[in-house]
């Protein structure tokens, strides 16, 4: 049995068709005391295979309490077996903010609109 974590996962509204592929995003504010909760290469990542839209997010610099939340928005092609086509990634844009609330809103908006 896994030990109970000190913090819960951050609630995120995920529309139908989306899969959250990576979730290291916890319900804790980024401060000097909690920066170790933000020391992973990807906080939250998701994909919508039907459209190929996806996103990855992180804190830059990694684990820095003065850092920014960063989201990369992409589109990827999938073959007839549902596997990603190599080198098919298209960069759609990036969003940066120091606000955790704005970070969450931007991810939720992208998933609704894509």
Q: What is the pLDDT of residues 68-99, one digit of tens each?
A: 999 999 999 989 888 899 999 999 999 999 99
Structural domain contains residue 12:
no
pLDDT of residue 2: 66
Range of the domain at 87: 19-113
Structural domain contains residue 2:
no
Q: Average pLDDT, whole number, for the chain?
A: 93
| Cα 18 from Cα 81, distance rounded (Å) | 18
Structural domain contains residue 9:
no
Is the entire prediction scored with pTM above 0.85?
Answer: yes
Structural domain contains residue 11:
no
- Helix, strand, coil in percent for the chain, rounding step 5: 15, 35, 50
Structural domain contains residue 7:
no
Token output for 82: 């549902």
Please tell me whether residue 106 adopts helix, strand or coil conformation: helix
Please tell me whether residue 57 adopts helix, strand or coil conformation: strand
Q: For 38-44, what is the mean pLDDT?
A: 89
pLDDT of residue 1: 66
Tally of domains in the chain: 1
Structural domain contains residue 13:
no
Chain-centroid distance of CA 59 in Å reads 10
Structural domain contains residue 63:
yes
Structural domain contains residue 6:
no
């Amino acid at each position: 049995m896994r030990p109970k974590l000190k913090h819960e996962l951050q609630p995120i509204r995920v529309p139908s068709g989306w899969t959250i592929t990576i979730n290291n995003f916890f319900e804790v504010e980024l401060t000097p005391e909690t920066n170790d909760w933000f020391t992973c290469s990807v906080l939250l990542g998701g994909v919508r295979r039907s459209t190929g839209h996806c996103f990855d997010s992180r804190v830059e610099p990694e684990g820095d309490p003065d850092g920014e939340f960063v989201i990369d928005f992409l589109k990827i092609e999938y073959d007839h077996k549902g596997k990603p086509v190599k080198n098919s990634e298209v960069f759609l844009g990036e969003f940066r903010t120091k606000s955790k609330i704005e970070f969450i809103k931007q991810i939720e908006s992208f998933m609704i609109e894509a």
